[in-house]
């Protein structure tokens, strides 16, 4: 059984839009590249044909991933983002109980994660451990580099 993927509505809409573009426009373009490359003759020594086949494989792989996300996607609604607990689309200010350093992250779906923008995936160890928790709770997180203890200082809406 596949695991559900949490998405905000706008993220789900972007996935659907990309899927529609890839299946209606890019597939045709890649098919044309493939036909053109075949016309160059001997396929065993045809670099253009190999490149077109690789392009087709990458395209189909991406389409498959998007279809999986659409099939397994669960949309987190605005009503679920009340700010009384950590959820997708909300910010969270946490304090490292060991170093006393504070961090602010936004919890996002895996496709929107960007550590340089302080956006962490709900599927990352930290994101997963914070989901559903409330302000004031202390969370123990097992990571590859050891155990982290964070206290949730604030949940930030919007």
The answer on 133 and 88 residing in a single domain is yes
Q: At what angle do helices 47-72 and 27-38 cross, to 10 degrees?
A: 160
CA distance 117 to 60: 30
Range of the domain at 55: 5-76
For residue 61, give both structure tokens: 């792989």
- For 105-128, the pLDDT digits (tens) are 999 888 788 989 999 998 899 999
Q: Inform me whether the pLDDT recorded for 66 exceeds 90.
A: yes
Q: What's the 3-state SS for 74-104? A: EEECHHHCCCCCCCCCCEEEEEECCCCCEEE
φ, ψ (nearest 5 deg) of residue 149: -120, 115
pLDDT, residue 1, reads 43
In contact, 36 and 48? CB cutoff 8 Å: yes
The predicted pLDDT at position 130 comes to 95
Residue 86: per-residue pLDDT: 93
Q: Are residues 144 and 82 in the same domain?
A: yes
Q: Give the domain-ending residue among 43, 76, 109.
A: 76
pLDDT of 77-91, one tens digit each?
777 777 789 988 899
Q: What is the rounded end-to-end Cα distance, in angstroms, of the chain? A: 33
- Global confidence as pTM: 0.66
Q: In this predicted model, what pLDDT tens digit does every residue of 17-55 receive, in sequence order?
A: 999 999 999 999 999 988 888 787 766 677 888 888 999
Report the CATH number that the domain containing residue 96 is assigned in CATH. Answer: 3.10.50.30
Q: Could you tell me if 115 and 107 are in contact, meaning their C-beta atoms sit under 8 angstroms apart?
A: no
User: Does residue 97 have a pLDDT over 90?
Assistant: yes
Q: Which two tokens stand for residue 150?
A: 């964070």
Q: Choose one of 24, 45, 76: the last residue of a domain.
A: 76
pLDDT of residue 158: 65
The number of domains in the chain is: 2
Look at residues 76, 97, 132 and tell me which one is the last residue of a structural domain.
76
For residue 116 the two structure tokens come to 């340089």
- Comparing C-alpha atoms, which of 90, 76, 74, 69 is closest to residue 18? 69
């Amino acid at each position: 059984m596949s695991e559900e993927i949490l998405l905000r509505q706008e993220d789900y809409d972007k996935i659907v839009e990309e899927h529609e573009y890839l299946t209606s426009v890019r597939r045709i373009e890649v098919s044309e590249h493939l036909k053109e490359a075949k016309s160059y003759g001997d396929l065993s020594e045809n670099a253009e044909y190999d490149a077109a086949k690789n392009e087709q494989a990458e395209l189909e792989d991406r389409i498959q991933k998007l279809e999986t996300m659409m099939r397994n996607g669960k949309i987190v609604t605005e009503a679920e983002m009340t700010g009384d607990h950590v959820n997708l689309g909300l910010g969270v200010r946490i304090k490292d109980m060991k170093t006393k350093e504070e961090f602010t992250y936004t919890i996002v779906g895996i496709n929107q994660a960007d550590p340089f923008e302080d956006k962490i995936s709900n599927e990352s160890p930290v994101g997963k451990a914070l989901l559903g928790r409330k302000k004031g709770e202390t969370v123990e997180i097992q990571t590859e580099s050891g155990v982290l203890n964070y206290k949730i200082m604030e949940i930030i809406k919007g």
